[in-house]
Amino acid sequence: MKRLPIGILGSGKGSNCRAIFERIRSGDLAAEAHLVVSDVLDAPILDIAREFGVTNAYLPPGRFRTRLEPEIEEQLVQMLRDAGVELVVLAGFMRVLHEPMLKAFRRRIINIHPSLLPKFPGLESWKQALVAGETVTGCTVHYVDERIDHGQILAQGEIRILPNDTPESLHARIQVLEHKLYPAVIAEFCERYGEASQQVGGWPDKWVL
């Protein structure tokens, strides 16, 4: 089976990126990491890419805080295309993507978010869940669209909120779940890609998991 070429975008510590790399290394994820890009020069995710021998790049984001400058987003599209990336995996990427990326990689960009969307989009969702008095929370993998933590939901994992949970303990348990859920969803994409590559026409332009 042909392996799915993925590109990972992240701004921070990269624990999801590491979980994905470990699953690839252990042989149970039929993906191939072609590129890691970060908008933060000293983001640990770039060190993780180096540790696993994956091509990586810092992309200076430009003058905006929550998005990439349009020309820079075009540059990102080019970098991913040049690297042969078929699925773009957001792993803690703190910028909202716009038309250049969304058009170039339609239904090929996924994100993981630490809540049961549509509940608690945005920052520190585990804290939001605690403050709201929820008894259950979790994480969501979804397609990326032009809205923050929106887009069609692909999979969710749930955990109980314990009476003595602090924001830190809850976040840590959600991350353990993320590290299982994200590779599992990517594995589904790999399967589709492997099957599609054996058919005339290859990877379909539009499909739903």
Contact positions vs ligand GRF (CB under 6 A): 10, 12-17, 91-92, 112-114, 139, 175, 178
- Both structure tokens of 76: 């990102």
Q: Which is nearer to ligand GRF, 7 or 203 (CB)?
A: 7
Q: Which is nearer to ligand GRF, 45 or 203 (CB)?
A: 45
**What is the nearest approach in angstroms of ligand GRF to the Cβ of residue 94?**
8
User: Strand, helix or coil at 124?
Assistant: coil
- Both structure tokens of 109: 């960009």
**What is the nearest approach in angstroms of ligand GRF to the Cβ of residue 203?**
26
In sequence order, the 6+-apart residues with CB closer than 8 A to the CB of 95 are 11, 39, 61, 66, 67, 68
- Give the count of beta carbons closer than 10 Å to the beta carbon of residue 1: 11
CB-hemisphere CA count at 13 Å for 156?
13
- Residue from 82, 37, 33 nearest 61 by CA: 37
- Residue from 78, 20, 75, 13 nearest 46 by CA: 13
Q: In what order do the strands lie in the sheet with 136-143?
A: 56-58, 31-38, 4-9, 87-90, 109-113, 136-143, 153-160
Q: Which is nearer to ligand GRF, 58 or 194 (CB)?
A: 58
**What is the nearest approach in angstroms of ligand GRF to the Cβ of residue 20?**
9
Q: Which is nearer to ligand GRF, 14 or 61 (CB)?
A: 14
Backbone angles phi, psi at 76, to 5 degrees: -60, -45
Q: Which is nearer to ligand GRF, 156 or 175 (CB)?
A: 175
Catalytic residue IDs: 113
**What is the nearest approach in angstroms of ligand GRF to the Cβ of residue 142?**
11
Residue nearest to ligand GRF (CB): 92
Backbone angles phi, psi at 38, to 5 degrees: -130, 145
- Both structure tokens of 22: 């470990």
**What is the nearest approach in angstroms of ligand GRF to the Cβ of residue 121?**
10
